[in-house]
């Protein structure tokens, strides 16, 4: 197997040799090499304490500083207004599928309807799990089933406790901007968004959202941490059945330490936030991500139909690019050839098959260039 030196970063001016393969995993996904190197350097002895971050109390001054610094760095990166709380929770985005209705439906005087836009596997799951709680009436306003290749039309959300959608469908490769959504949602209806696979990939107007949630393992850090950014005006509405660890109000009052938080994941997320800031922030990320995605979509579109991606041009995801070859034998040969060339974790999600290239922030441009070259060559030889 070919090994690639994809490290783009120096640590304190030293070039640290690394052998990092091109990792297109959908999640848990690539982390910046510089972040892992820094964590490695600090692992045994964090800041002269003689212990690792994993071994200290979440209430110790050292960890409180790590926690606060991560929260502030994120607030600056995404320009999160003071109207919104930032919470560091556990349970993945999946737990928020039920956490959202537990917090926003079923309170004494709250409206009891919620509107869901279904644009792929993840928003579909969110709806199914929310509806199963039976705390209110969770309605599907529109669905892109069965192909999920575009934004459904002819819907609106006017009277609901919240409207829910997913900004980037990780399985189906469909990405939506808030401007695609907002015109169809009444101003008084808070917008709730699952941003697990595209948060931090581009600038974001947080003030447009009542609630944003994201599992960490795509674009934030290791698995085990879930971010929630919530408008303070939505606090205090939780249902009696909402467990305290899932209750945004309780967690906000306790600085996300209603119980022991995932301390090491929180620390690593903080390092990733710093790395994003050093790279020039989310605007710089967006520029690079657009460039990376264009390489892969160009390889697809210039293949004369050998590769196929059915998502409407406007909604093609810059983060997850699913594509299909003419048959399964070629798909398998593609994966084997890619693996031989050090291009890893390209197998498509089991729901849709084919290939999926995930191009999160931490996937470096040279890795994507190698993949595009491999795709072009494979199409030439097999097309």
Ligand X SMILES: *Cc1c(COP(=O)(O)O)cnc(C)c1O
Interface residue list for ligand X (CB under 6 A): 27, 92-94, 122, 166, 170, 194, 196-197, 215, 218
Contact 216, 225 (CB under 8 A): yes
Cα 284 from Cα 99, distance rounded (Å): 33
In this structure, how many other beta carbons lie within 10 angstroms of the beta carbon of residue 2? 10
For 143, the 3-state DSSP assignment is strand
Taking the complex as a whole, the smallest distance from the CB of residue 94 to ligand X amounts, in Å, to 3
Q: How many C-beta neighbours within 10 Å does residue 10 have?
A: 11
Please name which of 270, 254, 225 lies closest in space to residue 91, comparing C-alpha atoms. Answer: 225
Q: What are phi and psi of 229, to 5 degrees?
A: -115, 115
Within 237-327, residue ranges assigned H as helices are 248-253, 263-278, 281-301
Nearer to ligand X, 114 or 166 (CB): 166
Closer to ligand X by CB, 122 or 248: give it. 122
Whole-angstrom Cα Rg for the chain: 21
Residue 383: CB minimum distance to ligand X, A: 32
> Residue 337 or residue 353: which is nearer to ligand X going by CB?
353
Beta carbon of residue 171, minimum distance to ligand X (angstroms, whole number): 8
Closest to ligand X by CB, 7 vs 170, is 170
Catalytically active residues, by annotation = 122, 194, 218
Smallest distance from ligand X to CB 213, Å = 9
Backbone angles phi, psi at 345, to 5 degrees: 65, 50
Phi-psi region of 345 (alpha: psi -120 to 50; beta: other; left: phi over 0): left
Shortest distance, CB of residue 145 to ligand X, whole angstroms?
17
How many other C-beta atoms can be found within 10 angstroms of the C-beta atom of residue 381? 9
**For residue 254, how far is the Cα from the chain centroid?**
25
H/E segment holding residue 322 = strand 320-323
Minimum distance from CB of 122 to ligand X (Å)? 4
Give the residue nearest to ligand X (CB).
92
Residue whose CB is less far from ligand X, 164 or 239: 164
Q: How far apart are CA 266 and CA 269, in angstroms?
A: 5
* C-beta closer to ligand X: residue 26 or 325: 26
Q: Please answer whether residues 358 and 335 qualify as being in contact, where contact means their C-beta atoms are separated by less than 8 angstroms.
A: no
């Amino acid at each position: 197997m070919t090994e690639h030196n994809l490290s783009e970063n120096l640590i304190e001016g030293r070039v640290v040799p690394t052998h990092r393969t091109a990792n297109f995993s959908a999640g848990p996904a690539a982390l910046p090499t510089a972040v892992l190197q820094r964590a490695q350097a600090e692992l045994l002895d964090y800041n002269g304490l003689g212990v690792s971050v994993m071994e200290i109390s979440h209430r110790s001054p050292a960890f409180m500083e790590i926690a606060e610094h991560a929260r502030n760095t994120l607030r600056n990166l995404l320009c999160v207004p003071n109207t919104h709380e930032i919470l560091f929770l556990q349970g993945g985005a999946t737990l928020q599928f039920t956490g959202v209705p537990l917090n926003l439906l079923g309170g004494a005087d709250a409206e009891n309807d919620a509107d869901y836009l279904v644009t792929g596997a993840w928003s579909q799951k969110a709806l199914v799990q929310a509806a199963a709680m039976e705390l209110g009436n969770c309605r599907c306003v529109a669905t892109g089933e069965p192909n999920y290749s575009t934004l459904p039309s002819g819907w609106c959300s006017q009277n609901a406790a919240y409207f829910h959608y997913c900004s980037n469908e990780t399985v189906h490769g469909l990405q939506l901007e808030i401007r695609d959504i907002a015109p169809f949602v009444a101003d008084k209806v808070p917008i709730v968004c699952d941003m697990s696979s595209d948060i931090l990939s581009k600038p974001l107007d947080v003030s447009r959202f009542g609630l944003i949630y994201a599992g960490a393992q795509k674009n934030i850090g290791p698995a085990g941490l879930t971010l929630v950014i919530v408008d303070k005006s939505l606090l205090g509405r939780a249902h009696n059945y909402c467990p305290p660890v899932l209750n945004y109000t309780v967690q906000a009052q306790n600085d996300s330490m209603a119980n022991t938080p995932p301390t090491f994941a929180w620390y690593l997320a903080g390092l990733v936030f710093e790395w994003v800031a050093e790279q020039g922030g989310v605007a710089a990320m967006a520029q690079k991500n657009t460039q990376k995605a264009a390489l892969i979509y160009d390889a697809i579109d210039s293949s004369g139909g050998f590769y196929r991606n059915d998502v409407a041009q406007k909604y093609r995801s810059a983060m997850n690019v699913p594509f299909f070859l003419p048959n399964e034998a070629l798909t398998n040969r593609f994966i084997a050839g890619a693996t031989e060339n050090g291009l890893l974790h390209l197998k498509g999600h089991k729901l849709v098959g084919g290939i999926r290239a995930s191009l999160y922030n931490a996937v470096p441009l040279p890795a994507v260039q190698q993949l595009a070259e491999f795709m072009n060559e494979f199409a030439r030889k097999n097309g």
